[in-house]
Structure 1
Amino acid sequence: MSAAGPSPSARLRVTLRLLDAELLGAMEYMWRAEELLPRYRRYLCTMHAVVRASVPLMERAVERATLLAVRGDPLAGPLAAYLREHIQEERGHDTWLLEDIRAAGSPPGDALGPMPSPLVAALAGSQYYWIEHHHPVALLGYIAVLEGYAPAPDLTSRIADTTGLPDAALRTVREHAALDTGHLDELYALLDRLPLTRGRQSDVTVSAMHSLDALTRLFVRLGRPAAAPLPRGAGPSSPTGVTP
């Protein structure tokens, strides 16, 4: 820590760690052994709805950042350069999920047909709004959460041992457990290089906090039995009481 205080990446890490206990509990509950196979199939379909938005979100953020760079925004050029590279790293991951869904015994139409959940729209859709109507730097908070809460290294073997699914149904979990730590390090290094004002740091933090909350609600819902009703008084914004 320098005399000027913690770096932007350190501030964001601390903020998320102070707030992520409910998400970690919901994720652990989601991956419990009891009836894991149907939950895993729902997880794959839900993650497809999230992941298929990733590249389009970044492409739109690049377009907006490019326009802002022309207008003299000092962080827009480095932001666009990072996103162009990250687009190449993330391209095709929605196809991985469709292949996993098929190998897990479900038709890809289970992911492609239904309208995505309002919880997915709350998670990804907020980014479209902030990119379009505020500043594309907000997307970095979203990326920090999705990369920062990737599957644990041992999750692939836990799923395989519990469900009996083949390796072909586990590619997305396996690959993201290996890749996302490096991606997160690249993101945090970028945050510390960017000429972020206090306001732009706040944009990233607010986006990350919202993404953390939305992802928590998503995992709470995934952890319930498929036919389980919502507890009385618990709507999409109230995911309490479903941790182990």
Structure 2
Amino acid sequence: MQQVKVWDLPLRLFHWLLVGAVIGALVTVKLGGNAMLWHGRFGLAVLVLLGFRLAWGVLGSTHARFHTFFPTPGRLLAYLRGSWQGLGHNPLGALSVFALIGLFGFQALSGLVASDDIAFSGPLIRAVPSDFSSLMSSWHRRTEEALYLLVGLHVLAIAVYRLRGDNLLGPMLHGRKSLAPGQAAEPARGGGWLALLLALGFAALVWWLASGSWIPAPAPAPSIPAF
């Protein structure tokens, strides 16, 4: 069968780094205590990676660009009818991708201003009112179960497609996809060095904004005169 390039290297690296960062964040939050410091670091890594993905969804190669796989009603209907043709994410897979990006993004953003009042405070907590921090802390905890559900459905879908003979993991490792005899498709194009530098620059900007290094340090407490 003919092999065609579908996923570029930056996209594949993003995918597996995101898997590692999410697993790290989930493990450390369960450990609690001093591990919460790493929970915050993993959460920041998730946000930076998502920043890169947002930029790469505009600047990347063919099948990495959001407009090529956005799940429009027409594409969803065609897929359900069995008439959809494509190399990248199918319309149902695209729904999963956008749902995961949205939920991971919300978890990471809310974590920036969250606090457990014991071992963790987000890097931007000093930039928001305490009521807003409390609200985001509550929602950060509440949406954790939704994250497990979406990730579980994502893994289940990969397993189901594998049983049907469609290996989704292989292309995300080596970047190539096999075409059925007679199936015509163009390989992924675009996403060169300039696009990569711009996407990395945007990710660096996200890190700077999310790290809170731009927030002025609090004024030192007044000293108590010695008598």
Relative to the length of structure 2, the TM-score reads: 0.33
Q: Whose Rg is larger?
A: 2
Q: Which has the higher helix share?
A: 1
Q: Given the two structures, how large is their TM-score scaled by the length of structure 1?
A: 0.32
